[in-house]
Amino acid sequence: MSGKLTTFLWPGTGGIVDDTIVTRIGEDEYYVVTNGACLDKDTKYIDEELGKFGGDVQWTRLDGSGLVALQGPQAAEILSEVLATDINLKEFYFGNTVQAQLKLADGSKTHPVLISRGGYTGEDGFEISFNGKLYPASESTVKAVESLIKAAGPERLQMAGLGARDSLRLEAGMCLYGHDLDDTTTPVEAGLSWIIPPERRKAGGFHGAEVILPQLTPKSKGGAGVERRRVGFVVQGAPAREGAEIQNKDGDKVGVITSGVPSPTLGKNIAMGYIKDGLHKAGTEVDVVVRGRKRPAVVTKMPFTPAKYWKAPA
């Protein structure tokens, strides 16, 4: 089984409804992980799209399910120590998914869980899904986490909160829906053109294609291009937060910051945001207004730190 980033798009505008992970878990069965804050919107969207499709499709919202992200350079080693299912993790690559069981600290096993290699940190790791429709997922999730921590010990594994996750995902140049992506942003503006494969570009017909396909060709080459682009920044002084204004050296507003944190890995303040097309090239110097003061910033290529995904040989 393998999962792929799938972006739901609005018809007519090409804006991003949500960025989700869709995994094929059977011949005609798929498992969709949405952003939590988008659940109600996504539910309505899927219902409407299925109504237009008119085919025989049933789907279930897995309320009460659990999700654990085991991330970092020792994630594979730790997972191997609690797996109750024989999996060759050296050939289990980024994007792969498998159904398996985990050994618990009390000697029992979990119900079958879905294990996917990937995550939201830029590190190697795994996401473990507990199905709340099949068993009490909250209890199983807690027991699995406790067993992972006991097996690994505090020197190798510790709990991490959303602050750690946010700094890691930003260092990896990854978007956060509702901040770096929203209903008004197209994949091209967001630097996500790679999600549109060549065959879809040729055939068109997907939601928002009439907007998105012309954007793929820059204005300099006769296309529609875009007015703004998502880029990274290294900011001097205080860290820039969401909503901070980006100005050119003449003091004109040319963009806005959508995410920003101090980077523990780099020892610098990093951010991402949208800037006027033409100013998006790495090395462009701008100012970011932080608490009323201009802070020098430089447009920087993302990711800020190299990704460490366990990928299949090219």
> Which residue has 């300099």 as its token pair?
220
Residue 138: band (very low, low, confident or very high) from pLDDT cuts 50, 70, 90: confident
Would the pLDDT of 2 be above 70? Answer: no
Report residue 273 CA to chain centroid gap: 16
How confident is the model over 242-272, as pLDDT tens digits? Answer: 999 999 999 999 999 999 999 999 999 999 9
Would the pLDDT of 20 be above 70? Answer: yes
Cβ atoms of 306 and 211 within 8 Å: the answer is: no
Would the pLDDT of 294 be above 90? Answer: yes
Residue 6: band (very low, low, confident or very high) from pLDDT cuts 50, 70, 90: confident
Would the pLDDT of 136 be above 80? Answer: no
Q: Which positions ≥6 away from 247 have C-beta within 8 Å?
A: 253, 254, 286, 287, 288, 289, 294
Question: What's the mean pLDDT in 164-168?
Answer: 96
State the Cα torsion 36-38-43-47 to the nearest 10°: -150
The reported pLDDT for the residue numbered 25 is: 86
How confident is the model over 43-76, as pLDDT tens digits? Answer: 999 999 999 988 899 988 888 899 999 999 999 9
Q: Is 242 annotated as a binding residue?
A: no
Q: How far apart are CA 203 and CA 286, in angstroms?
A: 39
The reported pLDDT for the residue numbered 4 is: 64
Alpha helices in the chain (DSSP H): 39-53, 75-82, 137-152, 162-171, 198-203, 209-215
| The CATH number of domain 66-160 is 3.90.226.10 | no
Q: How far apart are CA 190 and CA 7, in angstroms?
A: 12
The reported pLDDT for the residue numbered 301 is: 98
- For residue 270, the cross-strand partners are 234, 261
% the chain with pLDDT above 70: 98
Residue 1: band (very low, low, confident or very high) from pLDDT cuts 50, 70, 90: low
**Could you tell me the two tokens for 164?**
């750690």
Cβ atoms of 248 and 284 within 8 Å: the answer is: no
Alpha helices in 89-184 (DSSP H): 137-152, 162-171
The reported pLDDT for the residue numbered 134 is: 78
Cβ atoms of 277 and 227 within 8 Å: the answer is: yes
Domain map (residue ranges) of the chain: 66-160, 168-186+226-300
Quick check: do 66-160 and 168-186+226-300 share a fold? no
The reported pLDDT for the residue numbered 5 is: 63
CATH class entry, domain 168-186+226-300? mainly beta
How confident is the model over 187-211, as pLDDT tens digits? Answer: 999 999 999 999 999 999 999 999 9
% the chain with pLDDT above 90: 84
The reported pLDDT for the residue numbered 3 is: 61
Report residue 89 CA to chain centroid gap: 22
How confident is the model over 74-114, as pLDDT tens digits? Answer: 999 999 999 999 999 999 999 999 999 999 999 999 999 99
The pTM for the full model equals 0.93
The reported pLDDT for the residue numbered 203 is: 95
Cβ atoms of 123 and 70 within 8 Å: the answer is: no
Cβ atoms of 181 and 11 within 8 Å: the answer is: no
